[in-house]
């Protein structure tokens, strides 16, 4: 019984510390990050209806020192390719991070690559 109480206490302490040090909490509203991405694409000459933006936050990435914001963009005229971007919360900017063809890359020309 004592081992169970000790183990439970350690787990609770670790979770509290993760939240306290901001590792497991999202500091930026995902809609703000999405807005930065949309503004970036509009500056590149795309219209608002030409793409879909999806933003996800992964606290475990932050725990290991990686960017916790995952941004993927799918263009309406190229539905079978996802473009990935990194978000820098210090400078409030985005930069290209990669391209992911959904069903093979043989016939893709990646026309929206930066």
Q: Give the mean pLDDT of the chain.
A: 81
Q: How confident is the model at residue 12 (pLDDT cuts 50, 70, 90)?
A: confident
CA atoms in the 13 A half-sphere facing the CB of 107: 4
**Reported pTM:** 0.71
- pLDDT above 70 covers what percent of the chain? 83
Q: What is the pLDDT of residue 30?
A: 86
CB 53 within 8 A of CB 73: yes
- If you compute the radius of gyration of the chain from its CA atoms, what whole number of angstroms results? 19
């Amino acid at each position: 019984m004592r081992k169970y109480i000790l183990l439970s206490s350690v787990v609770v302490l670790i979770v509290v510390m993760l939240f306290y040090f901001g590792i497991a909490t999202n500091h930026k509203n995902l809609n703000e990050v999405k807005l930065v991405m949309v503004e970036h694409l509009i500056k590149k000459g795309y219209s608002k209806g030409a793409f879909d933006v999806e933003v996800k936050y992964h606290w475990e990435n932050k725990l290991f020192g990686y960017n916790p914001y995952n941004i993927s963009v799918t263009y309406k005229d190229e539905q079978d390719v996802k473009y990935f971007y990194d978000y820098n919360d210090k400078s409030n900017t985005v930069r290209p991070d990669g391209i992911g063809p959904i069903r093979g890359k043989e016939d893709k020309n990646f026309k929206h690559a930066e």
